[in-house]
Amino acid sequence: MKWTIGMRDRIFGKWACLFSALAVGFATSAGCKQPDPAPEPEKTAVAAKESDARKDSALMGSFIRENAGASSTPTGALPAGHPSVPGMTPPPVDASKLPEGHPPLPAGMRLAGSGDSPSGPPPDLSDLPIAFDVPKAWIAEAPSMSMRKAQFRLPHADGDSNDGDMVVYFFGKNQGGDVASNIDRWVGQFTTMEGDPIPDSSRVIGSLEVNGMKVTTLDVAGKYSNASMMGAAATPNEGPQRMLAAIVETPGGRWFFKGTGPVDTMAKYKSAFEEMLNSLAWKSDGNDGGA
């Protein structure tokens, strides 16, 4: 078979087209494969922070577990103004001391449970025109005002957090009001725990005579607000309180014995209060009214 020029050109032309097609295909295939897009900067930063947070959390958890044996409940004082931390026990507070920087208390005032007497020595009861035996457990204190002729702290009974007190008042020979008015005023300082007036059946009013002096007694309990005769604002006390009081009609005028405190504490000293009243004696000739 003889090759002619026309046959040669046709064969080479076909191969040339084939190679051209293959070249275009390879080029197209290579162009379709695009490189992975670069990560967005914001997403990369967020992922890094999340990773760091997980690492920090794991580290803190490991620290807590490693130190749990030393103290299961962390203690110690927080910095001033720091919010409370759940599960953290505050340091013990000494209720018998004032906080640092607190101004001094007024004369005669003390912290409940502190055991400290007001400033100044207790009075010399022998100078009073009225005599009585002070129960041994009562702690004499310096009176906080002139109308108080004597005052005592009655250490609290087990289970009570506050002490009781007993104050002896004398306002002058013809001062202080009559017996009935004072009894009514004292009872009026109490309500039931629900806030209702104290019923007659819940107040015990007694009368006795000691060494020629008439003594009227009051025993009442409930929610107590210590409103004063001077019209001072009443201060409610938490929990039920009890009052053991007496008005003694002496030749020199009426003397007032007023004791208040938690119910159990006053119950502890009830018999001592009665013994004290039975020891009352008038020493003055009555001319000076005991002033």
- Looking at the structure of the chain, the number of domains it has is 1
Q: In the predicted model, is pLDDT for residue 281 greater than 70? A: yes
* Share of the chain residues as helix, strand and coil, in percent rounded to the nearest 5: 30, 25, 45
Return the pLDDT at 75. Answer: 39
Confidence tier at 280 by pLDDT (50, 70, 90): very high
- Count Cβ atoms below 10 Å from residue 19 Cβ, excluding itself: 10
The whole-angstrom separation of Cα 52 and Cα 33 is: 35
Q: In the predicted model, is pLDDT for residue 224 greater than 80? A: yes
Domain-embedded: residue 262? yes
Q: Which domain holds residue 231?
A: 137-282
Domain-embedded: residue 184? yes
Q: In the predicted model, is pLDDT for residue 247 greater than 80? A: yes
CATH number for 150: 3.40.1000.10
Domain-embedded: residue 69? no
89-105 per-position pLDDT tens digit = 444 444 445 556 655 54
Confidence tier at 142 by pLDDT (50, 70, 90): very high
Return the pLDDT at 99. Answer: 57
Domain-embedded: residue 141? yes
Q: In the predicted model, is pLDDT for residue 165 greater than 70? A: yes
Domain-embedded: residue 51? no
**What is the full DSSP assignment across 19-71?**
HHHHHHHHHHHHHH-PPPPPPPHHHHHHHHHHHHHHHHHHHHHHHHHHHTTT-
Q: In one letter, which amino acid is 204?
A: V
Domain-embedded: residue 30? no
Buried b / exposed e along 114-133 (16+ C-beta atoms within 10 A): eeebbeeeebeeeebbbebe
Phi, psi angle pair for 11, to nearest 5°? -65, -50
Closest to 15 in 3D by CA, of 4, 3, 23, 25: 23
Mean pLDDT (whole number) for 177-192: 95
Output 291 or 167, whichever has higher pLDDT.
167
Q: In the predicted model, is pLDDT for residue 157 greater than 90? A: yes
Share of the chain above pLDDT 90, in %: 45
- Count Cβ atoms below 10 Å from residue 4 Cβ, excluding itself: 9
Confidence tier at 201 by pLDDT (50, 70, 90): confident
Question: CA-CA distances (angstroms) from residue 71 to 14, 29, 78?
Answer: 91, 69, 17
Q: Which residues make Cβ contacts (< 8 Å) with residue 48, sequence separation at least 6?
A: none
Domain-embedded: residue 76? no
43-81 per-position pLDDT tens digit = 666 566 555 555 544 443 333 333 333 333 333 444 455
Closest to 130 in 3D by CA, of 146, 149, 151, 152: 149
Output 275 or 200, whichever has higher pLDDT.
275
Mean pLDDT (whole number) for 116-120: 48
Domain-embedded: residue 90? no
